[in-house]
Amino acid sequence: MCKAFLIPIFITIGFQSFSQSKKDIKKNKIATIVVTETANGKTIDDSKVSYDVNGEIIEKSEYLKDGTLKKTVKYKLNNQGDIV
């Protein structure tokens, strides 16, 4: 039971520690952030997030442990940067 409680906490801390603010993404002209994992000497993409020139998320991709694409979500934004 203790392990089941700790796993979500570690996942949340991991995402927060690697998060970039929209301001940082725009300032540093970041187009894509890819999170990779190495297992048994093999590098596997875990997730990929793409941004537009304003630092808004335009696409998120998630991968399975074997490296195959699990899902992709594409975002469409209006002129104010709101998801539509």
Q: What are phi and psi of 7, to 5 degrees?
A: -60, -50
> Helices in the chain by DSSP H: which ranges?
2-18, 22-27
Confidence class of residue 18 from pLDDT cuts 50, 70 and 90?
low
pLDDT at 42 over 90: no
The whole-number pLDDT of residue 61 equals 93
Instruction: Return left, alpha or beta for 74; rule: phi > 0 is left, psi -120 to 50 is alpha, else beta.
Output: beta
3-state secondary structure 27-47: HCCCCEEEEEEEECCEEEEEE
pLDDT digits (tens, 9 = 90+) for 24-37: 888 888 898 888 88
Q: Measure CA of the first residue to CA of the last residue in the chain; give whole Å.
A: 40
pLDDT digits (tens, 9 = 90+) for 45-76: 789 999 988 888 999 999 887 778 999 999 99
